[in-house]
């Protein structure tokens, strides 16, 4: 009998009731689908329709090979136990990875479909160990780790955690786990394991490339490129816990202009609405929002407005949305999914009708008065209790498809805005999954704490998000939770974080500063949501203000360079923040550096992330000459230096001088 068949341009493999397809999916990429007792289905969770291309397929009784461009997949029919074993090679016939062996008498299975009674499968997919391998990506996890080899990950979203299941390997391949189920990934010394708690099939995508840039570009081609960043995404964004009324927000914007400070965006954050899910300004505190947006436009400042996906049970829209089936349902227990600011449930963006409903409400209240940027908060979504098996969506149970929530939340606004003719879309969102980038998702790292440990984590997070295909990323400068503007220790942290923010894809100041929970009352005496303390650049004393102003001006002077980086992200899928190995893949030390990075091709950034530090080591890769942005001193590559870093200085080195960037540093 024949285990292998060529069907169209794909390789079809069958054994023991399992049907597996290997399909060319890009010029150097293959998609693998496998189902037990069923035919695989071409889902479109993240992958775009395949590019046209041909594959070479060869068949024998016990082996089949499929090659496209730089990658070859090999499927072998093996005995005891009777099984199919899959491996991948590059064009030099070097092994990229292979499935785990059966282990002799252990009789292990690399593709284990464990039936769920009356339902689908728990799936475990296992790969053999490669001890020399280094892995990068996986999205946003709050850890100070860049190389994720020997790490384990929950495949689920939480506030400050965004699971994006793509890894780039030092062995020359990229791997996407194309499954939005809740699960886990383990990159162990004794093997790699991907696990889905509930799914219908195995589905992954793999590409080969000669450089990290080639792999990242292929992944962007497969899942979508970010749009071109609008001009207002290149400069400075101002935010605080919340401006609780119209005049307070406008006065902050006016003060930036009075002081001659660069600013592109100001944020009207959460609870500017009457009830969650009303999707409009509360009239008492924002009596004329159109006049507010018009005044900001005259100052050349864009307004970003917060939108939460929660619908309060007291919202004016709750009854209609519930009746029309536009809400996430709870499998058991009380139908309440979050209680911050009142009992609420989440809208269901996996339902196209729900996406359109929310967009139409936001269009009427915000877009039609000139708002062109949305802050899509709570995008995980942030359930009051992360019992992932207790929620159900239009497309299926959360445990099976829940990780796609933030991607489709972003899509609701992207589709609405592009439908109105907007060409360049960027929306700020607190979570992402594979493919989110094509919907204009600018991800931030959630409600992180105000300490140097959190700052150190942000560097690794931003780099791994870029490798995972999310080039637009930022963090709350200074951290979100806490931070006393009068505390010298926090002022130092703020300066160091502000310097890092200057060389982040988007530069945004935000945080809940002390004293917090300042009460706000309506005219009738009822309590509105609290507000926080000032968080403008002049809120931290004269010395700090002078430093922050200098970096605002530096960011502004870098616009042409940053615009070029955004064009590379849009056209080639290149990260804006890049691990050192991205630019120097032939330099072994560059694969191990987690505390410095490249901001585009020509700027080496070495943030100061220890309290009290006035110097720090900086590794300068070989093959280039490096000019200190601050002093102008030049160094040969291939050495580690002790860089001076007084409070006003973040070490920055320009690759081969780059005279256009040398002129950026503001005088004085």
Task: Catalogue the active-site residues.
Answer: 377, 380, 447
* Bridge partners (DSSP) listed for residue 72: 67, 89
Pairing outcome for strands 63-68 and 71-78:
antiparallel
Q: State how far the Cα of 359 lies from the Cα of 411, in Å rounded to an integer.
A: 10
**Cβ-contact 262, 535 below 8 angstroms:** no
* Residue partners of 387: CB distance under 8 A and separation at least 6: none
| Separation of CA 414 from chain center | 16
- Start-to-end C-alpha separation, the chain: 80
Give phi and psi for 625, each to the nearest 5.
Answer: -105, 140
Q: State how far the Cα of 187 lies from the Cα of 195, in Å rounded to an integer.
A: 12
Q: State how far the Cα of 506 lies from the Cα of 423, in Å rounded to an integer.
A: 19
Question: Exposed (0-12), middle (13-18) or buried (19+): which is 527, by Cβ within 10 Å?
Answer: exposed
Q: State how far the Cα of 117 lies from the Cα of 115, in Å rounded to an integer.
A: 6
- Other Cβ atoms less than 10 A from the Cβ of 508: the count is 21
Closest to 380 (Cα-Cα) out of 427, 448, 432: 432
Q: How many residues does the chain have?
A: 668
Give, to the nearest 10 degrees, the angle between helix 488-502 and helix 452-467. Answer: 20
**Cβ-contact 285, 298 below 8 angstroms:** no
Q: State how far the Cα of 78 lies from the Cα of 64, in Å rounded to an integer.
A: 12
**Cβ-contact 465, 444 below 8 angstroms:** no
Report the b/e string of 428-444 with b at 16+ CB within 10 A: bbbbbbbbbbbbbbbbb
């Amino acid at each position: 009998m024949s285990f292998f068949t060529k069907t169209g341009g794909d390789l079809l493999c069958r054994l023991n009731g399992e049907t597996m397809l290997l399909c060319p999916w890009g010029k150097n990429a293959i998609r693998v689908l496998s189902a037990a007792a069923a035919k695989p289905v071409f889902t479109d969770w993240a992958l775009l329709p395949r590019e046209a291309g041909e594959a070479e397929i060869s068949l024998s009784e016990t082996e089949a090979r499929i090659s496209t461009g730089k990658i070859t997949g090999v499927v072998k029919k093996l005995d005891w136990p009777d099984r199919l074993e899959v491996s991948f090679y590059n064009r030099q016939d070097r092994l990229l990875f292979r499935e785990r062996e059966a282990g002799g008498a252990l009789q292990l299975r690399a593709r284990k479909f464990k039936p769920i009674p009356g339902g689908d499968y728990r799936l475990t997919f296992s790969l053999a160990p490669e001890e020399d391998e280094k892995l990068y990506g996986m999205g946003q996890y709050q850890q100070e780790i860049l190389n994720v080899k020997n790490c384990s990950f929950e495949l689920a979203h939480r506030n400050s955690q965004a699971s994006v299941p793509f890894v780039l390997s030092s062995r020359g391949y990229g791997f996407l786990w194309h499954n939005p189920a809740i699960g886990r990934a383990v990159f162990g010394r004794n093997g790699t394991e991907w696990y889905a708690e509930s799914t219908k099939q195995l589905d992954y995508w793999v590409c080969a490339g000669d450089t990290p840039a080639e792999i990242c570009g292929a992944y962007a081609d497969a899942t979508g490129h970010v749009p071109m960043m609008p001009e207002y995404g290149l400069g400075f964004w101002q935010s605080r816990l919340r401006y609780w009324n119209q005049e307070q927000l406008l006065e902050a914007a006016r003060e930036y202009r009075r002081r001659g400070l660069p600013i592109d965006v100001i944020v009207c954050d959460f609870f500017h609405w009457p009830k969650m899910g009303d999707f409009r300004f509360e009239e008492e505190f924002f009596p004329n929002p159109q006049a507010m947006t018009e005044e900001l436009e005259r100052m050349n400042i864009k307004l970003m407005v917060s939108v939460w996906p929660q619908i309060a049970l007291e919202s004016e829209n709750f009854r209609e949305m519930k009746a029309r089936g536009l809400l996430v349902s709870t499998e058991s227990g009380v139908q309440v999914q979050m209680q911050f600011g009142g009992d609420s449930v989440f809208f269901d963006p996996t339902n196209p009708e729900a996406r359109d409903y929310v967009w139409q409400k936001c269009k009427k209240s915000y877009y039609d008065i000139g708002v062109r940027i949305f802050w899509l908060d709570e995008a995980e979504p942030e359930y009051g209790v992360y019992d992932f098996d207790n929620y159900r969506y239009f497309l299926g149970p959360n445990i099976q498809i829940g990780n796609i929530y933030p991607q489709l939340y972003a899509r609701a606004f992207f589709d609405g805005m592009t439908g109105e003719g907007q060409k360049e879309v960027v929306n700020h969102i607190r979570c992402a999954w594979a493919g989110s980038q094509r919907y204009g998702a600018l991800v931030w790292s959630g409600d992180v704490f105000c300490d140097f440990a959190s700052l150190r984590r942000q560097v690794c997070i931003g780099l791994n998000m870029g490798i995972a295909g999310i080039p637009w990323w930022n963090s709350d400068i200074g951290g979100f939770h806490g931070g006393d503007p009068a505390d010298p220790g926090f002022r130092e942290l703020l300066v160091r974080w502000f310097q890092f923010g200057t060389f982040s894809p988007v530069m945004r100041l935000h945080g809940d500063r002390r004293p917090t929970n300042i009460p706000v009352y309506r005219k009738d005496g009822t309590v509105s949501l609290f507000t926080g303390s000032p968080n403008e650049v002049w809120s931290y004393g004269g010395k700090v203000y002078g430093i922050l102003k200098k970096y605002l001006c530096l960011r502004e002077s870098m616009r042409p360079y940053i615009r070029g980086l955004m064009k590379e992200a849009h056209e080639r899928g290149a990260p804006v923040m890049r691990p050192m190995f991205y630019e120097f893949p032939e330099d072994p030390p560059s694969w191990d550096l987690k505390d410095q990075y490249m901001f585009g091709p020509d700027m080496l950034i070495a943030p100061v992330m220890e309290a009290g530090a006035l110097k720090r080591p900086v590794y300068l890769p070989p093959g280039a000459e490096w000019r200190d942005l601050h002093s102008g001193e030049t160094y040969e590559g291939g050495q580690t230096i002790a860089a001076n870093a007084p409070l006003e200085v973040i070490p920055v080195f320009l690759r081969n001088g780059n005279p256009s960037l040398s002129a950026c540093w503001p005088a004085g």
